[in-house]
């Protein structure tokens, strides 16, 4: 007889895998909806994990700086309107946003 039985080892491994998966799901939900930085705009993957930044830094050869500028133009476009009703004149300004979330605990 083997010690411990093979079925016991399989059950422990399966339970461990499910527990780690549930923990990662819990952490991702917390980071996306309940974290203090959750109100800042940005990609969901960047808010949930560090894989977004790692992908652009490691696998894309350090292109995170260019991606950060792109994210500012995508998520940070704000239109400001100034009206002067007395003279029927208005101005529109397009500004890029000052803050974009690029990681779970990081904004740019």
pLDDT in tens, 42-77: 899 999 999 999 999 999 998 999 998 888 888 876
Quick one: pLDDT band at residue 79, thresholds 50, 70, 90?
low
The answer to whether residue 23 sits within a structural domain is no
Is 70 exceeded by the pLDDT of residue 95?
no
Q: What is the pTM of this model?
A: 0.71
The answer to whether residue 27 sits within a structural domain is no
Q: Could you give the number of structural domains in the chain?
A: 1
Give the chain's mean pLDDT.
83
The answer to whether residue 67 sits within a structural domain is yes
Helix (H, G, I), strand (E, B) or coil at 87: coil
The answer to whether residue 66 sits within a structural domain is yes
The answer to whether residue 76 sits within a structural domain is yes
- Residue 89: give the domain boundaries: 35-107
The answer to whether residue 26 sits within a structural domain is no
Burial class of 42 by CB neighbour count within 10 A (0 to 12, 13 to 18, 19+): buried
């Amino acid at each position: 007889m083997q010690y411990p039985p093979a079925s016991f080892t399989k059950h422990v491994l399966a339970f461990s895998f499910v527990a780690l998966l549930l923990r990662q799901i819990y952490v991702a939900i917390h980071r996306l909806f309940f974290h203090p930085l959750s109100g800042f705009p940005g990609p969901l993957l960047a808010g949930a994990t560090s894989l977004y930044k790692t992908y652009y830094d490691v696998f894309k050869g350090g292109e995170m700086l260019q991606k950060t500028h792109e994210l500012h133009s995508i998520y940070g476009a704000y239109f400001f309107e100034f009206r002067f009703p007395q003279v029927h004149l208005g101005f529109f300004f397009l500004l890029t946003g000052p803050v974009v979330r690029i990681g779970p605990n990081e904004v740019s």
